[in-house]
Amino acid sequence: MKIVVQRVKNAQVDVEGTTVGKIDKGFLVLLGVTHNDTEEQADYLVKKLCNLRVFTDENDKMNLSLKDVDGKLLIVSQFTLYADCSGGNRPSFINAAKPDKAEKLYEYFCKQCKEKYNIEVEKGIFGADMKVSLLNDGPVTIIIEK
């Protein structure tokens, strides 16, 4: 499982011209799932994400977490994080989990962020053609894999 975390001033995801998820200050999270991923791996990444201290404190040091700044999450499933471009110019997505497994772990991940850490979670729509917009803050972009 892999997440790309972007610290944002705001972000939103639209499907067919309708906004389905929108946040102000927080993280836009792109989540990719591969074949052997488990709920235990999701738990590890949820804990890392929800405790990640990359918001600036009064001394302008990255020292505060989402909870410290009342931040929110916009979590978007993205199978293309497991693209393999080693064989040519057209990526292979063979390393991405099948949709049924990926959706189950995506939903589990979102639920854990909300229930275990009491963080407001907005989501995209799994498998939809989504348009994601954001104002990256920093920019701060971190990749975490387990």
Distance set, CA 108 to CA 29, 101, 119 (Å) = 14, 11, 14
- The residue from 78, 109, 112, 126 that is catalytic is 78
- Is the peptide bond preceding residue 91 cis, with omega within 30 degrees of 0? no
Please say whether the dihedral angle defined by the alpha carbons of residues 129, 45, 95 and 97, taken in this order, is positive or negative.
Answer: negative
Tokens read off for 87: 């064989």
Annotation marks residue 56 as catalytic: no
Confirm if 121 and 128 have CB atoms less than 8 A apart.
no
- The residue from 79, 93, 109, 126 that is catalytic is 79
Annotation marks residue 78 as catalytic: yes
Find the helix or strand (DSSP H, E) in which 4 lies. Answer: strand 2-15
Annotation marks residue 18 as catalytic: no
Quote helix, strand, coil % in the chain, to nearest 5. Answer: 25, 40, 30
In eight-state DSSP terms, residue 91 is P
- The residue from 80, 109, 126, 141 that is catalytic is 80
Show which residues are catalytic. Answer: 78-80
